Amino acid sequence: MRSLSLLSGGILLLLTQPCVAIELNIDSYDSIKSATKIIARDLATGYWDPFSVHGVPHPPYYWWLHGAILGGIVDYWAMTGDDTYNANVTVGWLRGVSPSLDLQPDEQSFSEGNDDQGFWSIMSIDATERAFPETEGQKEMHAGFLEITQTVQNLQAGRWDDKTCGGGLRWQINPTNDGYLYKNTISNGLFFQQSARLARYTKNQTYADWAERTYKWLREVKIVRDDFYITDGAWLPDCKKFTEKRWSYNYGTLLAGCAAMYNYTNGETYWKEQIDSILAATYATFFDAESGAIKEIQCQDSNTCNADQPSFKAYLVRWMGYTAQVAPYTYNDIMPRLRKNAQLAAATCTGGTSGTACGLKWNTGPEFDGIIGLGEQLSALEVIQNTAPFVAPVGYLVDIDNGGTSKSNPNGTGTRGGVHNRNSQYLPYRLKNYEITLADRVGAAIITLVIVVVFALGARFTMIH
């Protein structure tokens, strides 16, 4: 156990208020909005640095989580209509996009992996499909959500490595990094999901071809086993050695990709079979038989989760909710489980200084487990807000023919023109400073001011590992 002040890192800052639990009536949209507003507030005040509008998470969190949280806030806006944090999302997005317009900012130039870039790109396709507002400054920079997703798609397609294992993306982009000799599920799963959702949104068959190629490669190389045991990845040179650990977000990203392809192909039987098989494996693996609660089986019960892993079920439930929307035949299968977990998660939100911090363990009864962090908050937010579209007309998904407004640029490669593919050397680079509009800064500063005021009061919290 270690005690952290906001001054020394500020991983989670909770507003001081009476210690009361979050009440949730899962059948009431107003109740869902009220519950998610509290959780989003606690998440946001722990996430945005009071000395910066950029929103880069403090250690021990990594840059990829920045994009993942922004995706959660985009969905929060779509599900509730609350635009409190929209300016922060925009400024954080521009920071991540970088002047090179490829989600490869300077400070991440040597450590960024395909999965890191992928989480940011999934955030941008989330924003595209939810019609999240784009600012004029964003448009002038050519940093629209759709065109950045398309740029990442082109860059990652250029990294496709068919010289080893017959295909797939490596985990790392930089050949000097640990993991360059590893083809992990999440990098390839995010690329698959990205391709499939681009196909659904743009109606461009090229994206669908990449989605099918990626998914079938995962099946053929046995990263996804015949019984839908989904491993963490496989090692070069031949991808015969696997990392056998099962993580919920790997199941989730493949589920979302299959659902998008089901939608794009107007219900093709193959993709329905994949959805059904992944869902069955997900329920058998991650849903507690007694309580129905989702568990991160590799680390939760043993209390060995690192800073990343408590957020994994946030993406599982986000992508289950997405699946229920784009493959609506799954609604009756998915929604009772999400609703149950929304209630279980809300019941844990009694911790921290605020009395509303949410815990990691949803299966231990209506109590807070003492574990506070960004992943725990994001997971609770996601599972509750993803029940909203099924009690109210919110969270619509648009496409290029039906309400989509984000500008398309299918040939985008960023201002560096596609540095690094399977035949090139990784090239370090330095980026020029860029301007964020005054309106962006002022909007984000309003939220930041709230955090600064609380900071001045000396709020502290205890984080238990």
User: Model confidence over 337-358: pLDDT tens digits?
Assistant: 999 999 999 999 999 988 999 9
Q: For residue 261, how far is the Cα from the chain centroid?
A: 19
Query: Is residue 331 within 8 Å of 386, Cβ to Cβ?
Result: no
For residues 251 and 231, give the distance between their C-alpha atoms in angstroms, rounded to a whole number: 9
How many CB atoms sit inside 10 A of residue 58's CB? 16
* Partners of residue 287 on adjacent β-strands: 294
Q: Tell me whether strands 241-243 and 233-235 are parallel, antiparallel or unpaired.
A: antiparallel
pLDDT of residue 279: 99
For residue 247, count CB atoms less than 10 angstroms from its CB and return exposed for 0-12, middle for 13-18, buried for 19 or more.
Answer: buried
Q: Which fold has domain 2-406+413-463?
A: Glycosyltransferase (1.50.10)
Tell how many helices (H) and how many strands (E) occur in the chain: 14, 5
Residue 449 has what pLDDT? 47
pLDDT at res. 322: 99
pLDDT beneath 50, residues of the chain: 1-18, 50-53, 419-465
| The two structure tokens encoding residue 236 | 């070069």
DSSP structure string for 35-87: HHHHHHHHHHHHHS-TT-SS-PPPTT--HHHHHHHHHHHHHHHHHH---TTHH
Q: Which residues have C-beta within 8 Å of that of residue 402, sequence separation ≥ 6?
A: none
Sorted by sequence, the CB contacts under 8 Å of residue 181 that are 6+ apart come out as 170, 235, 236, 237
User: What does pTM read for this prediction?
Assistant: 0.86
Q: Is 171 helix (H, G, I), strand (E, B) or coil?
A: coil
Nearest C-alpha neighbor of 95 from the set 441, 408, 415: 441
Coil, helix or strand at residue 416: coil
Alpha helices in 159-222 (DSSP H): 185-202, 205-220
Q: What are phi and psi of 126, to 5 degrees?
A: -55, -50
Residue 453, burial from CB neighbour count under 10 angstroms (0-12, 13-18, 19+): exposed
* Dihedral over Cα of 436, 437, 440, 443: its sign: positive
User: What letter does residue 256 receive in the DSSP assignment?
Assistant: H
Phi, psi of 252 (to 5 degrees): -65, -45
DSSP type of residue 436: P
212: its two tokens: 């099918």
Q: How far from 385 is each of 20, 34, 339, CA to CA, in Å? A: 20, 10, 10
Residues with Cβ within 8 Å of residue 130, at least 6 apart in sequence: 74, 75, 77, 78, 395, 396, 397, 398
Specify whether the CB–CB gap between 254 and 230 falls below 8 A.
yes
Q: What is the pLDDT of residue 417?
A: 59
Contact 64, 55 (CB under 8 A): no
